[in-house]
Amino acid sequence: MSKHIFITGGVVSSLGKGLTSASIGMLLEGRGLKVAMQKLDPYINVDPGTMSPYQHGEVYVTDDGTETDLDLGHYERYTEAVLTKHCNYTTGKIYNSVIEKERKGDYLGATVQVIPHITDEIKAAIDSLCSDDVDVILTEIGGTVGDIESLPFLEAIRQYRLDKGQENVMYIHLTLLPHLRASGELKTKPTQQSVGKLREIGIQPDVLICRTELPMTEDIVKKISLFCNVEAKAVIEEQDVAYSIYEVPVILHDQHLDEFIVKRLGLKAVEQDLKPWLKMLETVRNPKGEVEIGVVGKYIELHDAYKSVYEALSHGGHGHGYTVKFRKVAAEEVEKVGAKNVLAGVHGLLVPGGFGGRGVEGMVQAIQYARENKIPFFGICLGLQCAAIEIARNLLGLENADSTEFDPATPHPVISLLEEQKGVTHKGGTMRLGAYPCELTSGTLAHRAYGRDQISERHRHRFEFNNKYRDAFLKGGVTLSGLYKDKDLVEILEIAEHPWFLGVQFHPEFQSKPIAAHPLFSSFIGAAGNHAGLGNKKGSGTTKMLA
């Protein structure tokens, strides 16, 4: 039978609940336990796929093609948990299925209510991850305790302990200790009040994890313990990290959090071994060098919009011993001042995914600058599409070449709508989504980087390289190095006569891990290191390949 940990957040949002949950998952895996990870989001959208990056940040995609919250990206980076559509439920998804059942007549004439029908549906969502081979399920509740919309979720997890037994369910509450600079104090009152709110609902947290700028004194721990009714050893400090978010599991382990959980839930566990993780952190702390990567995108002012891309770039650095510095450039800025003025000196350029025409001309100009100046270039999804447009216009002489997404009347639609997308009108969950196999051509940069013939990568797009232009591209010196054979779709293009120029229609950033960087990111950062004169072997990746 699986045991359960519920993670809630109090005082303010953006406390790093996802990261903390992922870190706890990783520590439990380190104790030899099999974990599953899940996020329950109180908003009414059925999934974040239809939300603007400004609202929500990146949309993370799982192998099975579910568009999910970006916290699931943390779960995959820190743990081995396999994520599916059961790992992210929203209020919208829960209500959708209750209303569907009601219409079918499943409730046999009952008045359908929040308690028990909505709460039962939430409990069923949690149950969907229970299995004989999962030891612990970690369920993070989005939002902040005290929000109206998270109430049904909190009520459901309260009931859950009653259903499954005290010994099988525990609650961890993440909170903030504000630091008042004027008096030099850490304040505990917001934490006391937030725990008070939880207790009103009937939830007594077993563990409090306190986000803080400064170390907690013993007095503060005692005070929190007393007022919040939590054992002192379960009042855990999570101080702001000095150099990497990957320090968080180590901080929690040092305070014996994994030991506490193992005992509290009566789990059979082995000793923790953080050696490989600590080794990775050591290279982050003492890098051999630094590379600077220009990232040119539409939502550049928002770090969360390209969260997995930045993480994967950093992972690429880990294996080479490089710190990766980001030069974030708004695509529209490139249009205003010219690529050279904002990109001179970068060791690599990355153009990430995106939707809509704003900034596309700037991305195209940035790619031209990287291609002509032999700066390593990595294009992801929209980034590949912009590279195709750039090559068509400037290398193949196809004037006004474009994607039909941006110019439906272009004389040269080098990127056009996927056949299967024609006639699709609904926006939710209807893109080409999730993992598809891709065959690599030997002798290409992609094949060298991956070191294998077939790969599986995740997608999220409606437009695609137009096969009518294949010959023109091949004649112009472009290699089409990855194909989805079933539908004859171009998944990767590259330019051999360039130190490192490669675009992919998929999202490799979703499969990168801090101690197993994605091979393309590792190879790209290696090439950026060469460009910076740091001198690894040409385009080689030194980190472990994905299994």
By CB under 6 A, name the binding residues for ligand GLN: 353-355, 381-382, 385, 405, 460-463
**Least distance in angstroms from the C-beta of 357 to ligand GLN:** 9
Measured CA to CA, the distance from residue 432 to residue 434 in angstroms comes to 7
Closer by beta carbon to ligand GLN, 158 or else 393: 393
Q: How far is the CB of 55 from ligand GLN (least distance, A)?
A: 17
Round to whole Å and give the CA distance between 499 and 265. 54
Smallest gap, in angstroms, from Cβ of residue 60 to ligand GLN? 12
As a whole number of angstroms, the distance between CA 378 and CA 71 comes to 25
**CA dihedral for 233, 234, 238, 239, sign (positive or negative):** negative
Cis amide prior to 48 (ω within 30 degrees): no
Of 463 and 484, which CB lies nearer to ligand GLN in the complex structure? 463
Beta pairing class for 478-484 and 289-297:
unpaired
Residue nearest to ligand GLN (CB): 353
Closer residue to ligand GLN in complex, CB, 93/460: 460
**Which class for 453: exposed (0-12), middle (13-18), buried (19 or more C-beta within 10 A)?**
exposed
Question: Rg for the chain (alpha carbons), in Å?
Answer: 25
**CA nearest 200: which of 154, 153, 164?**
154
**Alpha-carbon span 526 to 277, nearest angstrom:** 21
Taking the least distance from each CB to ligand GLN, the nearer of 61 and 138 is 61
* Secondary structure (DSSP) of 259-312: HHHHHHTT--------HHHHHHHHHHHS-SEEEEEEEEETTTT-GGGGHHHHHH
Do residues 262 and 29 lie in contact, with contact meaning Cβ atoms separated by under 8 Å? no
User: What's the closest the beta carbon of residue 353 comes to ligand GLN, in angstroms?
Assistant: 3
261 vs 489 by CB, closer to ligand GLN = 489
CB closer to ligand GLN, 461 vs 518 = 461
Q: Shortest approach of ligand GLN to residue 541 CB, angstroms?
A: 24
SS3 (DSSP) at 125 = helix
What positions carry a catalytic annotation? 381, 507, 509
Nearest to 210 by CA among 184, 183, 198, 228: 228
Residue 495 CA to residue 483 CA, distance in Å, equals 16
Which CB, 39 or 460, lies closer to ligand GLN?
460
In 100-234 the beta strands, taken as DSSP E runs, fall at: 136-141, 169-176, 179-180, 185-186, 207-212
Shortest separation between residue 245's beta carbon and ligand GLN, angstroms:
24
Minimum Å distance from CB 317 to ligand GLN? 23
Residue 458 main-chain phi, psi, to 5 deg? -95, 145
CB of 443 to ligand GLN, least distance (A): 28
Q: Which is nearer to ligand GLN, 95 or 355 (CB)?
A: 355
Phi/psi-derived region of residue 31, left when phi > 0, alpha when psi is between -120 and 50, beta in every other case: alpha
Strand ordering across the sheet containing 454-461 = 322-330, 289-297, 348-351, 377-380, 501-504, 489-495, 478-484, 432-440, 454-461
- In the bound state with ligand GLN, the residue whose beta carbon lies nearer, of 258 and 405, is 405
Q: How far is the CB of 424 from ligand GLN (least distance, A)?
A: 11
User: Can you tell me the distance from the alpha carbon of 1 to that of 415, in angstroms, rounded to the nearest whole number?
Assistant: 50
Q: Where are the alpha helices (DSSP H) in 429-518?
A: 445-450, 470-475
